[in-house]
C-alpha cells in the first residue's frame, strides 16, 4: 500500500511539531524516519497511524484519503517502543487480540484465529511460549510478540516507533537483521522511526532525515550518506568534520594557505568544508590541511585524533591507523579524499 | 586519615541498615503500639458483646430495630459504592489519560472529603436540603424527602467515601499511561472493547482495593450520616448510629453485639484483601500495582 503525506502540519497547543511535511512512501518499501529527538519523526508516524490528527494537510493510503479515518479504520499495524503488550493476557491472547475484537461478520472462527496466531508466533520464532505472560519474556522476545500482534490483523502499513530503542546493543543488532528478513518475506510497506543512524542505514530501503519539524532529505542510504543535501544531514548521518574555508582561484584556502583541494564550481567567497574523518589521505608537503594533534584516542580498530588547524582554534577529527605514532603536539598533514562544500 | 578508614572496617552490616538492637526496638514499638491501639479495643468489643452469652448476643442482632439498621446500612452501601466506582473510574480516567485545564483543581476537589470533617459534610446537606433552603421545599412539593430519609443518608455517604476509588486508581492509571489503549485501538478495537478488555483488567486490583476500602467506610460512616439522618429509630438509623443510641441507653451488650458485626466486617475486608494478595501476588506485581 502506497502512503502519501501531503503538506501536513501539526501543532500541539500552538507549538508547531511539523511544518508542511510531504512524503511519498512506496508500496512494499522499508523506510526509516530518522532524526534527533524533537525533530517530529514520531509525530509524523503517529499522524500516519491516526493516533494524532493533522492540523492541516492530508494523508492518503493508496488513492483513498485517510485523513478523516479513525485509527481503527486505517488498518495499520503499530509497534510501540515500550511494547505495550497486554500484561494480563498470554502471548497467544495478545497476538489473537486484533482478530478477536473484529465484528462478528468479519471475525474468523476461533480455530482459525488460533491457527493464524500460532503461525505468526512461528514466524517470529516464539513457538512454545504461547502460554506465557509478557512479564515472563525478555525485552527482545516481547518486541517480537508485539510485531506478531501487529501483523495478525494483516495491516495495510506496518508502523514501528523506535522498535529497538529499549533494548541493549547486542539484541538490537540481532532484531535489526531479523526485522529485515521478516519484511522481505511478508512484503509489508513498513515505516519505522529511529534516532540511531546506523540502524537506519543498515535496515532501510530509503531514509527520511528530519530536523526541527521538517524533512531535510529523502533517499537511499547510499545517496544520503555520500551526497548529503545540507550541513545538518552531513553532521547527523555518519561521522563528520567541518571547517570554514575561503574559495579563491577555484581552490580552497585556510588561513592564507591553499590546501590543495579544488573548489569545483563553488563561487568565490566564504564556504564550509565537510568531510568524513575516515575518508582522508595523509600527505607530505605544503598544499594540504595541516594541524597539531590535541587529543588522540584509540577507538576499536582505528585511532581518532583531534587536530587544531591554523591559529584560530578550529578543530577537526580524523581517523588514523591505530598504530600510527602520532602523539600530542605532533604535526599531521592530510587531504580529504571526498568532501562537500556548503555555503557559509 | 588511614587510621580513620581502618577503624570502620569491622562493621559488617549494610550501610543502609541499623544495628540489631535498633531493629528490635523499632519492631517492638510498632507491635506494642498496634496491640494497644488496635488489638485491645477489638478484643474489648467482642468480649463485651459475648459477655452475657451467645443467646443474648444473637437476640440483640435479630431485634427489630437492629435488623432495620443492618438492612439500611447494606442498602446505603449497595447504592453508594457502585456510584462511587463509576465516579472514581470516570475521574481517574479523565485525570490520568487527558490533559485539560483545571486538572489540578479537580484532584484537589477529590481530596476535599478527606480534609473536611464529616460533621461539616453532613451540615452542608442540611443547609442544601433543609426546611429553610431553596432545594428542600422545592423537592418536597414533588414529594421527595432528602433530609431525614434514605436519599440524604446516601448523599452524605457518597460524599464522604468518594475519594477512595479515585485515589486508588489515579496514580495507577497515570503510571500505566495510554500505550495499551493506543495498541488496542490500532488493532481495531472500539472504545468499549478497549475499556472492557484492556483498561479494566489493567486496573482491576487497584479498583478492588478501592471498592473494599470504600465499602468499609460507607458502612462505618458516623458523623455525616448522624447529621442528615435525624436518627429515627427503625427507619433512618444505620448500624453505627444504632450502636451509639443503644450505648447511650446503657444497653451495652446490644451495642457491642452490633459493634462486633461492624468490626467483623472490617476484619473480613482485611482478610479478603490479604487473601487476594496472597493468591494473585504475581499477577498484582505484574500489573504494576
Q: Is 2.40.50.140 the CATH number for A241-343?
A: yes
Instruction: Assess contact for A259 and A253: CB atoms under 8 A.
Output: yes
Instruction: Say how far apart CA A302 and CA B232 lie, in whole Å.
Output: 91
Closest CB to B186: pick one of A71, A85, A87: A71
Locate the domains of chain B by residue range: 18-49, 54-286
- For testing the chain A interface, which of B187, B286, B287 should be mutated: the one with the most A CBs within 10 Å? B187
Residue of chain A with shortest Cα separation from B201: A88
Q: pLDDT at position B284, please?
A: 65
pLDDT attached to residue B13: 67
Q: What is the mean pLDDT of residues A312-341?
A: 86
Which ranges in chain A are annotated with CATH 2.40.50.140?
A: 241-343
Which residues of B touch chain A, with CB atoms under 8 Å apart? 179-180, 182-190, 193, 197-198, 201-202, 283, 286-288
Q: Which three cell numbers stand for residue A117?
A: 496466531
Could you tell me what percent of chain A has a pLDDT over 70? 100
Q: What is the pLDDT of residue A254?
A: 86
- Disruptive mutation site among A12, A43, A46, A72 for chain B (greatest number of B CBs within 10 Å): A72
Residue A207 pLDDT more than 60? yes
Q: What is the DSSP letter of B38?
A: I
**What are the CA-CA distances from residue A160 to residues A179, A203, B56 (Å)?**
11, 13, 71
CA distance A163 to A79: 7
Nearest CA to B91 out of B160, B197, B194, B167 is that of B167
- Which residue would you say has higher pLDDT here, A256 or A74? A74
Residues 6+ apart with CB under 8 A from B139: B129, B145, B146
Q: Looking at chain A, which residue has its C-alpha nearest residue B188?
A: A72
Q: For testing the chain B interface, which of A84, A135, A158 should be mutated: the one with the most B CBs within 10 Å?
A: A84
Q: How confident is the model at residue A80 (pLDDT cuts 50, 70, 90)?
A: very high
Q: Which one of B183, B198, B283 would you mutate to disrupt binding with A, by most A Cβ within 10 Å of its Cβ?
A: B183
The CA distance from B83 to the nearest CA of chain A, in Å, is 26
Q: CB distance A86–B283 less than 8 Å?
A: no
* B29 grid coordinates: 514499638
Cβ–Cβ of A78/B186 closer than 8 Å? yes
CATH topology of domain B54-286: MetI-like fold (1.10.3720)
> According to the model, what pLDDT value does residue B31 have?
94
Of B269 and A81, the structure prediction assigns the larger pLDDT to: A81
The span from the CA of B154 to the CA of B139, in Å, is: 16
What is the per-residue DSSP string for A158-180?
EEEESTTTTS-HHHHHHHHHHHH
- Distances B103 to A341, B43, B98 between C-alpha atoms, Å: 52, 45, 9
Looking at every residue in chain A, the average pLDDT score rounds to 91
Report how many Cβ contacts below 8 Å link chain A to chain B. 69
Task: Give every strand in the sheet of A56-61, ordered side by side.
Answer: A15-25, A3-12, A56-61, A64-65
Per-residue pLDDT, B1: 47
In chain A, CATH 3.40.50.300 sits at 3-236
Of the partner residues B179, B187, B202, the one whose CB lies closest to the CB of residue A82: B179
Fold assignment, A3-236: Rossmann fold (3.40.50)
Residue B191: CA atoms inside 13 Å, Cβ hemisphere, count? 1
Give pTM, 2 decimals: 0.81
Q: Which ranges of chain B have pLDDT less than 50?
A: 1-2, 288-289
Select the residue of A87, A101, A135 nearest B187 (Cβ to Cβ): A101
Bridge-based pairing state of the strands A269-275 and A257-262: unpaired
Q: Considering only the C-alpha atoms of chain A, give the largest distance between any 2 of them, rounded to a whole number of Å.
A: 80
Residue B289's pLDDT is what?
Answer: 39
Cell numbers standing for residue A16 = 508547531
A interface with B, Cβ–Cβ below 8 Å: 49, 51, 71-72, 75-78, 80, 82, 84-88, 97-98, 101-102, 133, 135, 146, 149-150, 152-153
**% of chain A beyond a pLDDT of 90:** 61
Amino acid at each position: 500500500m502506497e502512503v502519501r503525506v501531503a503538506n501536513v502540519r501539526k501543532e500541539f497547543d500552538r507549538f508547531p511539531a511539523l511544518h508542511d511535511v510531504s512524503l511519498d512512501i512506496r508500496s512494499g518499501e522499508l523506510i526509516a524516519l530518522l532524526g534527533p529527538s524533537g525533530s517530529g519523526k514520531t509525530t509524523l508516524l503517529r499522524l500516519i497511524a491516526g493516533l494524532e490528527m493533522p492540523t492541516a494537510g492530508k494523508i492518503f493510503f493508496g488513492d483513498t484519503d485517510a485523513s478523516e479515518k479513525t485509527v481503527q479504520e486505517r488498518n495499520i499495524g503499530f509497534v510501540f517502543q515500550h511494547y505495550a503488550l497486554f500484561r494480563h493476557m498470554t502471548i497467544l491472547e495478545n497476538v489473537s487480540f486484533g482478530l478477536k475484537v473484529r465484528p462478528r461478520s468479519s471475525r474468523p472462527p476461533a480455530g482459525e484465529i488460533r491457527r493464524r496466531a500460532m503461525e505468526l508466533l512461528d514466524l517470529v520464532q516464539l513457538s512454545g511460549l504461547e502460554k506465557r505472560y509478557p512479564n515472563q519474556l525478555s525485552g527482545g522476545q516481547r518486541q517480537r510478540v508485539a510485531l506478531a500482534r501487529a501483523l495478525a490483523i494483516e495491516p495495510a502499513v506496518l508502523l514501528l516507533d523506535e522498535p529497538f530503542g529499549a533494548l541493549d546493543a547486542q539484541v538490537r543488532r540481532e532484531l535489526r537483521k531479523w526485522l529485515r528478513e521478516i519484511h522481505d518475506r511478508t512484503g509489508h510497506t513498513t515505516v519505522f522511526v529511529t534516532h540511531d543512524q546506523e540502524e537506519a542505514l543498515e535496515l532501510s530501503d530509503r531514509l527520511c532525515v528530519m530536523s526541527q519539524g521538517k524533512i531535510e532529505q529523502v533517499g537511499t542510504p547510499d545517496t544520503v550518506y555520500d551526497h548529503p543535501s545540507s550541513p545538518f544531514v552531513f553532521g547527523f548521518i555518519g561521522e563528520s568534520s567541518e571547517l570554514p574555508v575561503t574559495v579563491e582561484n577555484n581552490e580552497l584556502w585556510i588561513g592564507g594557505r591553499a590546501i590543495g583541494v579544488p573548489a569545483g564550481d563553488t563561487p568565490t567567497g566564504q564556504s564550509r568544508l565537510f568531510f568524513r574523518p575516515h575518508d582522508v589521505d595523509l600527505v607530505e608537503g605544503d598544499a594540504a590541511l595541516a594541524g597539531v594533534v590535541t587529543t588522540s584516542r584509540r577507538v576499536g580498530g582505528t585511532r581518532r585524533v583531534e587536530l587544531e588547524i591554523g591559529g584560530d582554534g578550529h578543530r577537526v577529527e580524523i581517523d588514523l591507523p591505530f598504530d600510527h605514532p602520532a602523539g600530542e603536539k605532533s604535526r599531521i598533514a592530510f587531504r580529504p579524499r571526498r568532501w562537500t562544500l556548503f555555503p557559509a | 586519615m588511614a587510621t580513620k578508614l581502618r577503624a570502620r572496617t569491622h562493621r559488617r552490616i549494610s550501610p543502609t541498615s541499623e544495628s540489631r538492637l535498633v531493629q528490635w526496638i523499632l519492631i517492638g514499638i510498632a507491635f506494642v503500639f498496634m496491640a494497644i491501639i488496635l488489638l485491645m479495643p477489638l478484643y474489648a468489643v467482642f468480649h463485651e458483646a459475648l459477655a452475657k452469652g451467645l443467646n443474648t448476643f444473637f437476640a440483640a442482632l435479630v431485634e427489630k430495630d437492629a435488623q432495620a439498621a443492618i438492612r439500611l446500612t447494606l442498602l446505603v452501601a449497595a447504592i453508594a459504592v457502585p456510584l462511587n466506582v463509576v465516579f472514581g473510574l470516570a475521574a481517574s480516567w479523565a485525570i490520568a489519560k487527558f490533559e485539560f485545564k483545571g486538572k489540578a483543581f479537580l484532584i484537589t476537589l477529590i481530596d476535599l472529603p478527606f480534609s473536611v470533617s464529616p460533621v461539616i459534610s453532613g451540615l452542608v446537606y442540611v443547609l442544601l436540603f433543609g426546611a429553610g433552603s431553596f432545594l428542600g421545599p422545592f423537592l418536597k412539593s414533588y414529594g421527595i424527602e432528602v433530609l431525614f430519609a434514605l436519599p440524604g443518608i446516601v448523599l452524605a455517604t457518597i460524599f464522604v467515601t468518594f475519594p477512595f476509588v479515585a485515589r486508588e486508581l489515579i496514580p495507577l492509571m497515570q503510571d500505566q499511561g495510554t500505550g495499551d489503549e493506543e495498541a488496542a485501538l490500532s488493532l481495531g478495537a472500539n472504545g468499549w472493547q478497549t475499556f472492557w478488555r484492556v483498561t479494566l483488567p489493567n486496573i482491576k486490583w487497584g479498583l478492588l482495593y478501592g471498592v473494599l476500602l470504600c465499602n468499609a467506610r460507607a458502612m462505618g460512616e458516623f458523623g455525616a450520616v448522624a447529621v442528615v439522618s435525624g436518627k429515627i429509630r427503625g427507619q433512618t438509623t444505620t448500624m453505627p448510629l444504632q450502636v451509639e443510641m443503644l450505648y447511650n441507653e446503657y444497653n451495652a451488650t446490644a451495642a457491642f453485639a452490633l459493634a462486633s458485626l461492624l468490626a467483623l466486617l472490617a476484619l473480613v475486608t482485611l482478610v479478603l484483601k490479604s487473601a487476594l494478595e496472597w493468591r494473585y501476588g504475581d499477577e498484582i506485581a505484574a500489573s504494576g500495582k
